[in-house]
Structure 1
């Protein structure tokens, strides 16, 4: 059974990586501790595919709070909870070949970082 999640709107769009002016897109959710990621459907439940370039729009010193799988052809597979909030979905106007997932905003921790 796939889990789904509700979220308050409006979502703040922080970036898109597309060739046609549409999607995939990256948003910050209402509480600013979650990203909403709109991407292409895959054959894996709760998993989308997004171009590498979309991650360039992450807020500074953050990361997606989800493991990424590099497909080897310029995209990542990302898993999260499926967005089910009707108002948020209306805002996104997602095409039939895509879905949106919600993932935590992670804190980037680099091995070469100098301790504070």
Structure 2
């Protein structure tokens, strides 16, 4: 699958005050009564990853998160929902936007913090969660095709 263009080049919807907002399409979630990590595809050649705010001092000490970005923790299984956007394969590379893999088999994902009110209104975000935007191109780079095993492809 080829990804053309950049998120900045996609069509944005105008908000009431003339700003631009992303439109989201739900792909899936890994949920129980107190947790709701969720994956969305946007109209901006990107994904929104909603996950738990990272508060572990050991993890935070290992990372350098620039202004305007944040990190969230999600179950590795959340990325299985990429198939609903036509992507196949499994995550085999630990590179940005995945910046850390925990002992609990969760990923720490770094990206641009979602701060646009109209975009946030499209989601239900508990106070212990946050969400980040990551490019489709970066996510594609993490995947290895499921091609039937060794010797295929």
TM-score by length of 1: 0.76
1:34 to 25, 30, 46: 46
Structure 1 pair 72–21 and aligned structure 2 pair: CA distance change class (3 A): closer
Residue range with higher mean Cα deviation, 97-106 or 55-64: 55-64
Offset from partner CA, 1:12-56 (integer Å, 9 cap, x none): 00000011286110000113x200000000134511000111111
Residue in 1 aligned with 2:22? 8
Taking structure 1 as reference, are residues 21 and 15 closer, same or farther at Cα in structure 2, changes over 3 Å only?
Answer: farther
Q: Give unpaired runs (5+ residues) of structure 2.
A: 1-19
Which of 1 and 2 has higher RCO (CA within 8 Å, sep 6+)?
1
Residue 61 (structure 1) aligned with residue 88 (structure 2): yes
More helix by share: 2
Count how many residue pairs are aligned between Structure 1 and Structure 2: 106
Does the 8 Å contact 1:16/1:23 carry over to 2? yes
- Tell me what 1:17 maps to: 30
Distance 1:95 1:73, change over 3 A: same
Q: 1:97 aligns with which of 125, 128, 145?
A: 128
The gaps in structure 1 that reach 5 residues or longer are 1-5
Shift of 1:68: 4.0
- RMSD value over aligned CA atoms? 2.5
- Please report the TM-score for the alignment, with normalisation by the length of structure 2: 0.60
Hey, which of these two has a bigger chunk of strand by percent? 1
- Partner of 1:26, secondary structure, is strand
